Amino acid sequence: MRQPLVAISSDVRNFENYTWHAAPDQYLMAAYQAADVIPLIVPSIGEGLDIDAILDGVDGVLITGSKSNVHPALYGAQPTEAHEPYDPARDATSLPLIRRAIDRGIPLLAICRGIQELNVALGGTLATEIQQLDGRMDHRAPASEIQAERFAIRHPVHIKAGSCLAAVMNSDAIQVNSVHRQAIDRPAPQLEIEAVADDGTIEAVSVKNARAFAVGVQWHPEYWVKTDNSSRRIFAAFGDAVRAHKASRERLQAAE
């Protein structure tokens, strides 16, 4: 029996005189080691890419974080320098991938930029430079050249009782890292708020009435899956959902 396959979103980057479609190693290794799935990077080709053909061949979808932001025109906002940088090819690929994965009941985990894409894909809006808003903490990474310091776990999030995340964590609060300057502003109608920070920033959501695991988190569990129990639990739950979906699909195919 083959190991489950998971589609991973990609960023478009230009370096070494090439255009690359790439995903950070931390996400790939967290998927491989903590979720026990094989990650496959989806190129950000955008319009014309056969999303259903991709989803026919995988058992789950992981939408990664990124330095780039969802283009504000996609949620009805006026672009400014504060909204930059952008990755329009990623937007044109990941948003339809998210929508179709939900429609088809394929397990979905969306992280950082991913939770923002999830919200926009379903009709929500984003706020930028949230550290400038009244009552908000600074959610940006600490200034450091050392990645472990930038991704250090440093503030609590409070989990809604009875939520999907509460069942995963078996707790009403966990400690997370914080490496973002944008966040959900108006949640999409199809999303349920699962967790918030002390300042009210939405830190996790799930898709209402989803046919499979469909969760977005604003923090970065991929960075600490080897040492942080909460981070490991998220990827383990995603992996379990992916395997359950794969088994269900194989049973249906065998019955045909």
- Catalytically active residues are 112, 220, 222
Residue among 207, 114, 111 nearest 163 (CA): 207
Long-range contacts of 127-131 (CB under 8 A, 24+ apart): 127/182, 127/183, 127/184, 127/185, 128/69, 128/72, 128/80, 128/82, 128/83, 128/181, 128/182, 129/82, 129/181, 129/182, 130/181, 130/182, 130/183, 130/201, 131/181
Residue 69 structure tokens: 């932001």
Q: How many CB atoms lie within 10 A of CB 199?
A: 15
Helix axes 88-103, 113-121, angle to 10 degrees: 70
- Find out whether 151 and 178 touch, Cβ atoms under 8 Å: no
**Can you give the C-alpha Rg of the chain in angstroms?**
17
Give the 3-state secondary structure of residue 22: strand
Token representation of residue 131? 């550290």
| CB neighbour class for 99 (10 Å; exposed up to 12, middle 13-18, buried from 19) | middle
Dist CA 26 CA 32 (whole Å): 10
